[in-house]
């Protein structure tokens, strides 16, 4: 069934606003997505009707909020098809999830001379935590190279494994150029070498189904705010048997079992990794976002976004002096491009004056920009509330920008 785009656009109140006296066209969805009424209303309801700190209360509202928070965990579990609720750790976001693994798993299993493998198209959030871990431990970072289209070279990947490889951490979808990586194959290959894998799903979960059991991912991380949910909430999925063996990362309330000044024992999963008051309102909002995505239909969303990507690619390809980056066979709806002799930042400023939001720069993927020998791109990242008409406006705005700088 096709999407009812008018209904969808009505669900997102911000899309009705004007920017610079023009209808607002939002193409910065890879940075963060807009929120539907159902998510905004659900969080509003928490603060107006049920707000209370969770888990430790015996009173009425604390009980309701605790149950809503744990129901949200179950919604996430179902959404990514994890086996157990306690494999779902709520975090502030993707970055926090990766840091948790880098500190906890990294502290226990990585030693001097060991190696971590990442890829050439990682977001800084999936580079720097590993780099810092390597510095702390005297370990080494290895990088899976890619071709000019933005596809990882799996033959080269296979050659990177040594007896010291401790973890592979790769993105499922590249935020800068949209490549979809064959993560199932990457996981299979890594497991053949006896190495565990973390998948950065920050740009993947919102574009289609993710099944962590089918992938056999050891860790899977993502952020609520990139999937139409709130900021400040994200998820780290980890296989039960791996999480059970990992030492705590942050410590304090909630993650403990028994505390005395002599000794502390730790709580069971998932609470052991959720120190302090969790963002329960965010978690409940995230569950509302998942409900919204499922009610809309993830298959229909993916099909609609594919059509938008093809249309946008055709429109932009016809512009003289525009060069698209990221031509992977499998890619999601991201149009990343440069214009001859115009700095991406200048172009972004002019495009903004048309009421169109695009992002410019390196998109937190500086090594990828270096690989292409460019200083950055203009990125239009599309969501299922965008339209072909908005892409026509983008084309027109880009053409006017080129004219202006001539």
Report the C-alpha gap between 133 and 139 in whole angstroms.
8
Scanning 53-61, 91-99, 253-261, 304-312 for contacts with ligand PMP by CB under 6 A, the matching segment is 91-99
Report the C-alpha gap between 310 and 332 in whole angstroms.
10
Contact track, ligand PMP, 149-178, x by CB under 6 A: ----------------------x---x---
Contact track, ligand PMP, 186-205, x by CB under 6 A: --------------x-xx--
Minimum distance from residue 22 beta carbon to ligand PMP (Å): 26
Residue 346's Cβ-side half-sphere holds a number of Cα atoms within 13 Å equal to: 12
Contact track, ligand PMP, 338-377, x by CB under 6 A: --------------------------x-------------
Q: Which of 349, 283, 225 is CA-nearest to residue 85?
A: 283
| 196-200 β-sheet, strand order | 88-91, 234-238, 219-223, 196-200, 165-171, 115-119, 140-144
Minimum distance from residue 172 beta carbon to ligand PMP (Å): 8
> Choosing from 19, 141, 364, 369, which is the catalytic residue?
364
Separation in Å, CA 23 to CA 19, 354, 355: 6, 8, 6
By the rule CB under 6 A, 123 interacts with ligand PMP: yes
Candidates 33, 65, 126, 179; binder of ligand PMP (CB under 6 A) is: 126
How many other β-carbons are positioned within 10 Å of the β-carbon of residue 346?
Answer: 15
Structure-token pair, residue 237: 């999925």
Annotation marks residue 134 as catalytic: no
70 Cβ contact partners less than 8 Å away, ≥ 6 residues apart: 85
**Interacting positions 275-294 with ligand PMP (CB under 6 A):** none
- Cβ-based burial of 155 (10 A; exposed 0-12, middle 13-18, buried ≥19): exposed
**Interacting positions 208-227 with ligand PMP (CB under 6 A):** 223
Minimum distance from residue 174 beta carbon to ligand PMP (Å): 7
By the rule CB under 6 A, 228 interacts with ligand PMP: no
Catalytic residues: 364
Q: Which residues bind ligand PMP (CB under 6 A)?
A: 30, 93-95, 123, 125-126, 171, 175, 200, 202-203, 223, 364
């Amino acid at each position: 069934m096709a999407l009812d785009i008018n209904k969808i656009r009505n669900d997102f109140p911000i899309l009705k606003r004007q920017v610079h006296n023009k209808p607002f066209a939002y193409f910065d969805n890879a940075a963060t997505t807009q929120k539907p009424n159902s998510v905004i209303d659900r969080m509003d309801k928490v603060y107006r009707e049920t707000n209370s700190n969770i888990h430790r209360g015996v009173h009425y509202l604390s009980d309701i909020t605790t149950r809503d928070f744990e129901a949200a965990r179950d919604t996430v579990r179902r959404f990514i098809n994890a086996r157990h609720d306690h494999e779902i750790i709520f975090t502030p976001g993707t970055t926090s999830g990766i840091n948790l693994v880098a500190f906890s798993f990294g502290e226990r299993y990585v030693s001097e001379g060991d190696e971590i493998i990442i890829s050439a198209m990682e977001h800084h959030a999936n580079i720097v935590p590993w780099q810092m871990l390597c510095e702390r431990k005297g370990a080494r970072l290895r990088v899976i190279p890619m071709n000019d289209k933005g596809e990882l070279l799996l033959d080269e990947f296979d050659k990177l494994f040594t007896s010291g490889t401790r973890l592979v951490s790769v993105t499922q979808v590249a935020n800068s150029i949209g490549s979809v990586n064959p993560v199932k194959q990457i996981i299979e290959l890594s497991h053949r070498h006896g190495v565990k894998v973390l998948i950065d799903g920050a740009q993947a979960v919102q574009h289609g189904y993710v099944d962590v059991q089918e992938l056999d991912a050891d860790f899977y991380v993502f952020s609520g705010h990139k999937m139409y949910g709130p900021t400040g909430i994200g998820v780290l999925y980890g296989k039960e048997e791996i999480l059970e063996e990992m030492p705590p990362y942050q410590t304090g309330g909630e993650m403990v079992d028994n505390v005395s000044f002599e000794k502390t024992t730790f709580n069971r999963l998932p609470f052991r990794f959720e120190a302090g008051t969790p963002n329960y309102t965010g978690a409940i909002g995230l569950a509302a976002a998942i409900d919204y995505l499922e009610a809309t239909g993830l298959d229909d969303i993916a099909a609609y976004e594919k059509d938008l990507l093809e249309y946008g690619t055709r429109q932009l390809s016809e512009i003289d002096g525009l060069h698209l980056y990221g031509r992977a066979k499998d890619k999601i709806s991201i149009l990343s491009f440069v214009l001859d002799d115009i700095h991406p930042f200048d172009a972004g400023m002019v495009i903004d004056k048309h009421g169109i939001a695009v992002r410019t720069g390196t998109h937190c993927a500086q090594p990828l920009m270096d690989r292409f020998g460019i200083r950055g791109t203009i990125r239009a990242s599309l969501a299922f509330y965008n339209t072909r008409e908005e892409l026509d406006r983008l084309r027109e705005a880009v053409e006017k920008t080129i004219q202006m700088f001539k």
